[in-house]
């Protein structure tokens, strides 16, 4: 195996493979606790979930539990969820719970009553004099974690020397910032414990190459040939045209013309099908209703490009009338933004002008065959009209998640099992359409010291 760092970005266009220990090995899962999770920026929760000063939420990743607490109008602190006295968690966080939230003026250890303020300073030790002056503020304060915000999320990094969040996000963050994700609110949010590795789960959403084999009902409405491009640690995918491998198609967005002779009809059919089968996300009521009117508002034979332009103009006006403003996104940014972004290591964002569908996966204890899978829909709403939502644990069924996600679930468990077969010779990812996956393993190997993709010979 090549040493990590030998595969360059340009090599990702070549046929590659990579080992499967990252998905199956319990030792690898344990090593992630030291080599990966403490070294990367991870989102915790939406900023607007912290409404009042003192609102807190716990974020659990592997064996680490982090407390994030709101300390001012736009300020947060983050600490390891552990008392420095004997190691008791300050906030009980069972593995079966998604997160714990509440509001606190201070944190009191349930074991011996040691107390800490919102800045992590120790404010009370029972019989402190018994330590003969050895209990300095540095020894008795909570262990601080880096915290920042971007895109309407609060993020943490356990490495005190980590690069700033905006540097970590790089060009991916610059492009996505144009979509003003911070102005979106939850439409729904759900999670499940699922029987596959966290990487198996998130990779299921890194490419549209699987549509032809998994979501066959969608083939009646659109073409799904795709491109996949690496952006340092991150990557983007979108819809492409065969024979134009070097050119990102303007059809990269989820809001695009459908397949059929009459673009007015096919665009509505594609928009409706995607929306209804993706658990009413990946679009909005406004966009779908505006697409439905295309056949009445445009003459037969209108070119597809003109259909899309009219559709967007009409939907934008409809949203403005109900108090929803669209961000002004330059055409070159819109083209580069594509369909969906993978932010290293465990986040996928399928973005639209007024909506987003997001996936996040996390390990479930030391078990490489289980993960915490989360999906949530974001949308722009008129002021005060956003629904009140909470995290819901839901069985992975079509009734709970929509038929498209249920079809993805139907793959993930069996990919996990199939990789254990002695007859499996290793992954053969598509060099054009699944490049986000090989780039993911290229970067993962830099943290883990093993598992880098290698050229097929």
The span from the CA of 77 to the CA of 337, in Å, is: 32
Q: Which pLDDT belongs to residue 95?
A: 86
- What is the value of pTM for the model shown? 0.93
The pLDDT, as a whole number, for residue 200 is 98
Q: b/e map of 116-154 (b: 16 or more CB within 10 Å)?
A: bbbebebeebeeeeeeeeebeeeebbbeebbbbbbbbbb
Task: Tell me what the mean pLDDT of segment 267-287 comes to.
Answer: 93
Total count of residues recorded for the chain: 457
178-198 average pLDDT score? 97
Percent residues over pLDDT 90 in the chain: 86
Q: What is the mean pLDDT of residues 125-144?
A: 97
Question: Among 232, 211, 436, 215, which residue's Cα sits nearest to residue 338?
Answer: 436
pLDDT of residue 254: 65
Look up residue 90 and give its DSSP letter. Answer: S
User: Does residue 77 have a pLDDT over 70?
Assistant: yes
Kindly tell me if the per-residue pLDDT of 125 is higher than 90: yes
Mean pLDDT of the chain: 93
- In this model, does residue 435 exceed pLDDT 60? yes
Residue ranges of domains in the chain, CATH in brackets:
1-37+171-254+323-457 (3.90.380.10), 42-161 (2.102.10.10)
pLDDT of residue 246: 37
C-beta separation of 176 from 341 below 8 A: yes
pLDDT digits over 243-271, tens only?
543 343 334 566 777 788 899 999 999 99
State pLDDT tens for residues 20-45. Answer: 999 999 999 999 999 999 999 999 99
């Amino acid at each position: 195996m090549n040493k990590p760092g030998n595969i360059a970005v340009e090599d990702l266009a070549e046929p590659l493979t990579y080992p499967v220990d990252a998905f199956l090995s319990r030792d690898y899962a344990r090593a992630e606790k030291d080599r990966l999770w403490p070294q990367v920026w991870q989102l915790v929760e939406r900023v607007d979930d912290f409404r009042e000063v003192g609102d807190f939420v716990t974020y659990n990743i592997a064996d680490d539990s982090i407390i994030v607490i709101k300390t001012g109008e736009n300020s947060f602190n983050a600490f390891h969820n552990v008392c420095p006295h004997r190691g008791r968690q300050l906030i009980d966080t069972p593995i079966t719970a998604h997160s714990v939230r509440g509001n606190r003026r201070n944190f009191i250890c349930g074991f011996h009553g040691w107390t800490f303020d919102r800045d992590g300073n120790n404010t009370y030790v029972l019989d402190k004099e018994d330590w003969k002056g050895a209990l300095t503020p540095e020894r008795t304060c909570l262990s601080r974690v880096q915290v920042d915000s971007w895109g309407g999320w609060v993020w943490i990094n356990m490495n005190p020397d980590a690069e700033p969040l905006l540097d970590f996000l790089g060009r991916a963050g610059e492009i996505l910032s144009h979509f003003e994700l911070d102005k979106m609110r939850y439409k729904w949010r759900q999670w499940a414990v699922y029987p596959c590795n966290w990487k198996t789960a998130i990779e299921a959403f890194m490419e549209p190459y699987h549509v032809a084999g998994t979501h066959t009902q969608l083939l009646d409405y659109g073409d799904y040939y795709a491109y996949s491009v690496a952006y340092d640690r991150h990557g983007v995918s979108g819809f492409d045209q065969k024979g134009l491998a070097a050119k990102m198609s303007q059809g990269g967005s989820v809001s695009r013309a459908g397949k059929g002779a009459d673009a007015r009809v096919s665009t509505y059919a594609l928009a409706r099908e995607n929306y209804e089968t993706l658990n009413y996300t990946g679009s909005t009521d406004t966009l779908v209703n505006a697409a439905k009117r295309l056949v009445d508002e445009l003459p037969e034979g209108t070119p597809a490009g003109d259909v899309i332009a009219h559709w967007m103009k009409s939907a934008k006006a409809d949203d403005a009338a109900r108090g929803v403003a669209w961000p002004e996104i330059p055409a070159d940014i819109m083209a580069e933004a594509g369909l969906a972004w993978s932010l290293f290591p465990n986040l996928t964002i399928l973005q639209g002008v007024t909506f987003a569908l997001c996936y996040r996966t996390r390990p479930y204890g030391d078990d490489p065959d289980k993960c915490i899978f989360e999906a949530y829909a974001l949308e722009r709403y008129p002021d005060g009209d956003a629904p009140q939502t909470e995290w819901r644990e839901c069985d992975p069924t079509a009734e709970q998640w929509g038929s498209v996600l249920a079809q993805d679930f139907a793959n993930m468990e069996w990919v996990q099992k199939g990789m254990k077969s002695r007859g499996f010779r290793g992954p053969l990812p598509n060099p054009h359409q699944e490049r986000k996956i090989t780039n993911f393993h290229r970067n993962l190997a830099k943290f883990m010291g093993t598992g880098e993709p290698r050229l097929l010979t």
